[in-house]
Each structure stands twice: as structure tokens, then as C-alpha cells.
Structure 1
Amino acid sequence: MPFQPLPQDQPICTVECPACGHRWLVYEQQLGLLGSCPACGAARPRSMGGVAPDSGRQVSFGSFRDLLDEPRLLTLIEETLGLRPLDGARFVDAQGREVPLEDIHFTLQGNAEWQAQVYNFYMNHVR
């Protein structure tokens, strides 16, 4: 039977494909299960860690993507991570290299202060 998350569960762990380097969020219960990379199809991603624990303020990757039109989020990304937006969901570092949106989300969710700011942006956005 495939994994079925409970309604209160959120994906909080980042895994990385050893073949192509693509990163994505999974539920903690999925760590160690066989799975394939959504980018290249390779099996057995490795765990990169989780978001800030026990804060109760996690914002899913999908919700994070929905916030990319929020100027305060763009400012947070620029000021804390030193990245600048190109267009829509694309950001580059100081050397002009594109940074995957998943990495930006993971980094912000891994710091309790930044995570709280993103959570507040999201809560204001949905109201």
C-alpha cells in the first residue's frame, strides 16, 4: 500500500537525488522508502535534513510558490539569502547562477526566524 499522509502532516524533509542533484520535500514518514526522483527517475534519494523543528509554522512548497508575488517575501529572499529574482519563480546568486526554488524554500524553512516570517506572509496572503 502506498504512503498516505494524515491531514495534519506536512512535508518537512528535503531529499536530494544522487544522480542529478534535484531536491524536493517529502514527509518524514517517507524517508528510507524506495522512491524515484521526479526530475530524472533515479531511485533512492538521500535525506538532506528537515525544516525548523516543532515550530508549527511550516509552509508547504506549493504554498510558498503561491507567495512569489508577495514583495515582502522577495525582499526577505534578497536580504537573507543574497539572491535576486529573475522572473516568476527563478532566482540567481551573486555569480548569476540560478538557484532552485526548492533550495530557497528549504533554506527559509530551516531557520526558525525566517520560517516565521514566511508563515506570517502566507497567513496574511490567505486572509
Structure 2
Amino acid sequence: MKKQGILNSHISKVLADLGHTDTIVIADVGLPIPEGVAKIDLALTLGSPSFAETVNAIASDMEIEKVVIAEEMKTDNSEALHYIEEKFEGCAIEECPHEEFKQLTQKAKAVIRTGEAKPFANIILQAGVYFG
């Protein structure tokens, strides 16, 4: 039995299979999941698990070189924006319109759905290379 890091077997496998520049999405309860993209549903109840809780767990187990968020987060979810700016300080943070964001999710290896019920609490994480 695995005793540290991501215990969810589906997430653990997705992270282990990522190559450089591959992406995953961490999504709120409302983000549409594109056909053909694996959905890992963690949502238990509204708010649980939270966006930040899920991002923290994934970020501790994944080498991340870039993140992408919807520019609407600036006006509609400043709490999530501040969290991302602090969490990924020193990492490239790109913004795009939400409609473009949804198009980018079609290329993701997986979408991890949280219970977060606040607008635009979504992020694309792009894998970097870890040489230890």
C-alpha cells in the first residue's frame, strides 16, 4: 500500500504517465469535461474537496512549469487568483478567456473534478521535467 503522496490510484497513474508539456486540469464542479478526456471525479459535496486542497496535493507530487487560468478569475474569483499567484510564484502563469480555456482542456490527459463551487476555480497544469 502506498503511504505518501497522492493515494488516489487514478491520479497517481496520470501523474506517473505525464511527459514534458503534457497537461492536466483541476476543475470546479461546473467546468464541462470534453469528450475523450479522462475525468477523475473527487467531488463529494459542494466545496469538498476544495480547489486549493486539490491543487496543493497535486502540486506536491508533480513538476509544474506553467499554469493556465481563465482571465475571468481576476474579476469573479479574486480569492482563487491570489492563491494561485502565491502558490505558483516563480512559475509561468498564463491567462486566457474562459472559452479558450475550455478549448485547451480538450488536450489534457485528465480533468480532476473537485467539489469547489466558486466561479472560475479551474487551472491547467503543464508538466515540466524533473531531474532530481
Q: TM-score, normalised by structure 1?
A: 0.26
The answer to which structure, 1 or 2, has the higher relative contact order (CA under 8 A, 6+ apart) is 2
Q: TM-score, normalised by structure 2?
A: 0.26
More strand by share: 2
